[in-house]
């Protein structure tokens, strides 16, 4: 689920990598990486990794994020700010508009790009015109984009496979270790997150089934990754946020910047209510607690343990 809106910083052998689209496993020369969602423009920005093309597979069913999707994402944020006085705080990577195209059944997928290019071009033009009619200030170089896309099609063609069959073979062939990496956090889930300040996809464990075509019985261990304090990029509910020197300390010591946006992350104490809520939805079999060392300099560490609604403690996340 998702696309190049999620930023994952990975450090291996002292070298730092910032991934926005690639599975983190692309670093491992023994692992095959599989992408189920795709932004075509990100593929050829990967440097410093040897033979990565040979160990990357792209699903033929992956939707394509076009440049005009990204432009519209920015225009929508400006509109929200003007109309409501606040925006959602998206990464402006075109993810929301691409999911809108997908839900409206006007989206284009990798299989479309790699089959009949005349048919693809016709549908691309129709989609571009739809957005131009909605956003009169939007400028799209249709012919230039199509030329670029045709070039990308030939570059990625060797990597594209039938995604469902690829996963089926991986699950039923010779025994393998399969690790699924999700983009974004549980509280950004479109259904279960802090709506409307969420992403456009299901980034809870159900995304494994809907995003990859993996039957539920094949989902084994579920690892929750949580920091020893809470952070958030962009606006939205944050009860334990510390808008003071504590928040500043966590932000600076933890190097809390959005990997994709470069924005400062908002910081606060660990919120066990949202952690329990994430567990209710995902059923963690283990937790990976990170960044404990950031708290080393504090004499006192606080933790959010409960929410009150109307003066009474509640056992759920409202």
At a CB cut-off of 8 Å and minimum separation 6, what does 61 contact? Answer: 36, 109, 110, 111, 163, 164
Question: Of residues 102, 132, 264, 291, which has the active-site annotation?
Answer: 102
What is the pLDDT at residue 157? 94
What are the backbone dihedrals phi and psi of residue 73, each rounded to the nearest 5 degrees, phi first?
-55, -45
pTM of the predicted structure, to 2 decimals:
0.85
Q: Percent of the chain, pLDDT > 70?
A: 96
Q: Percent of the chain, pLDDT > 90?
A: 67
- Average pLDDT in the 247-275 region? 92
**Distance separating alpha carbons of residues 3 and 21, to the nearest angstrom:** 6
What is the pLDDT at residue 47? 54
**Distance separating alpha carbons of residues 157 and 55, to the nearest angstrom:** 14
pLDDT at 92 over 70: yes
Which long-range contacts does 168-176 make (Cβ < 8 Å, 24+ apart)? 168/213, 171/214, 171/218
CB 63 within 8 A of CB 101: yes
Confidence of residue 20 (pLDDT cuts 50, 70, 90): confident
What is the DSSP annotation of 262-274? -PBPEEEEEEHHH
Q: Where are the domains of the chain?
A: 1-180, 221-314
Topology of domain 1-180, CATH: Adenylosuccinate Synthetase, subunit A; domain 2 (1.10.300)
- Residue the block writes with tokens 């579920």: 222
- Residue the block writes with tokens 């500043």: 248
Look at 10-24, 112-126, 142-156 and tell me which has the smallest mean pLDDT.
10-24
pLDDT at 21 over 90: no
User: How do residues 137-159 score in pLDDT, each as one tens digit?
Assistant: 999 999 999 999 999 999 899 99
What is the pLDDT at residue 297? 97
- Average pLDDT in the 12-20 region? 85
In the three-class reduction of DSSP (H, G, I as helix; E, B as strand; rest coil), residue 121 is classed as helix
Confidence of residue 46 (pLDDT cuts 50, 70, 90): low
* Closest to 37 (Cα-Cα) out of 222, 193, 208, 260: 208
Which residue did the predictor score with more confidence, 257 or 227? 227
CB 3 within 8 A of CB 14: no
Assigned token pair, 294: 């950031």
What is the pLDDT at residue 39? 55
Characterize 233-261 residue by residue with b for buried, 16 or more Cβ atoms within 10 angstroms of its Cβ, and e for exposed.
bbebebebbbeeebbebbbebbebebbbb
Assigned token pair, 48: 């410093």
221-314 sits in which CATH class? alpha beta
CB 1 within 8 A of CB 209: no
- Residue the block writes with tokens 């075109």: 94
pLDDT at 255 over 90: yes
* Eight-state DSSP code of residue 24: G
What is the pLDDT at residue 43? 52
What is the pLDDT at residue 169? 96
CB 1 within 8 A of CB 210: yes
Look at 10-19, 193-202, 234-243 and tell me which has the smallest mean pLDDT.
10-19
User: How do residues 50-76 score in pLDDT, each as one tens digit?
Assistant: 888 899 999 999 999 999 999 998 888
* Closest to 58 (Cα-Cα) out of 37, 83, 87: 37
Confidence of residue 9 (pLDDT cuts 50, 70, 90): confident
What is the pLDDT at residue 74? 85
Which long-range contacts does 73-82 make (Cβ < 8 Å, 24+ apart)? 73/97, 75/135, 75/137, 75/138
- Average pLDDT in the 202-218 region? 93
CB 150 within 8 A of CB 120: no
- Residue the block writes with tokens 């693809």: 120
- Residue the block writes with tokens 């030329």: 147
In the three-class reduction of DSSP (H, G, I as helix; E, B as strand; rest coil), residue 41 is classed as helix
What is the pLDDT at residue 206? 93
Work out the mean pLDDT of the chain and round it to a whole number: 90
What is the pLDDT at residue 118? 98
User: Does 102 participate in catalysis according to the annotation?
Assistant: yes
- Residue the block writes with tokens 């795709």: 38
**Distance separating alpha carbons of residues 235 and 157, to the nearest angstrom:** 39
Helices of type H across the chain: 67-84, 95-103, 110-114, 117-134, 142-156, 163-172, 206-212, 245-253, 272-282
What is the pLDDT at residue 164? 94
What is the pLDDT at residue 38? 62
Look at 28-42, 70-84, 182-196 and tell me which has the smallest mean pLDDT.
28-42
């Amino acid at each position: 689920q998702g696309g190049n809106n999620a930023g994952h910083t990975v450090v291996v052998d002292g070298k730092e990598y910032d991934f926005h689209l690639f599975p983190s496993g692309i670093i491992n020369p023994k692992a095959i990486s599989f992408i189920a969602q795709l932004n075509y423009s990100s593929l050829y920005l990967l440097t410093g990794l040897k033979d990565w093309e040979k160990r990357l597979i792209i699903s033929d069913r992956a939707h394509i994020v076009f440049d005009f999707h990204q432009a519209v994402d920015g225009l929508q944020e400006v509109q929200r700010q003007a109309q409501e006085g606040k925006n959602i705080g998206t990464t402006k990577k075109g993810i929301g508009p691409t999911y809108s195209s997908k839900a409206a059944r006007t989206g284009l997928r990798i299989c479309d790009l790699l089959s009949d290019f005349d048919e693809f071009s016709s549908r691309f033009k129709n989609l571009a015109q739809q957005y131009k009619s909605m956003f009169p200030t939007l400028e799209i170089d249709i012919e230039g984009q199509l030329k670029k896309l045709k070039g990308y099609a030939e570059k990625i063609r060797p990597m594209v496979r039938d995604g469902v069959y690829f996963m089926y073979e991986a699950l039923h062939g010779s025994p393998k270790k399969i690790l699924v990496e999700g983009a974004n956090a549980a509280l950004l889930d479109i259904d279960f997150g802090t709506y409307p300040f969420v992403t456009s996809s299901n980034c809870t464990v159900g995304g494994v089934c809907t995003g990859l075509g993996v039957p539920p019985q094949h989902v084994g261990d579920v690892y929750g990754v949580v920091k020893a304090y809470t952070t958030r990029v962009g606006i939205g509910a944050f009860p334990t946020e510390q808008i003071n020197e504590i928040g500043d300390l966590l932000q600076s010591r933890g190097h809390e910047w959005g990997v994709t946006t470069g924005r400062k992350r908002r910081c606060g104490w660990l919120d066990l209510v949202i952690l329990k809520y994430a567990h209710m939805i995902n059923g963690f079999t283990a937790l990976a607690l990170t960044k404990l060392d950031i708290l080393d300099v504090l004499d006192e560490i606080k933790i959010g343990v409960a929410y009150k609604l109307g003066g009474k403690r509640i056992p759920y996340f409202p």
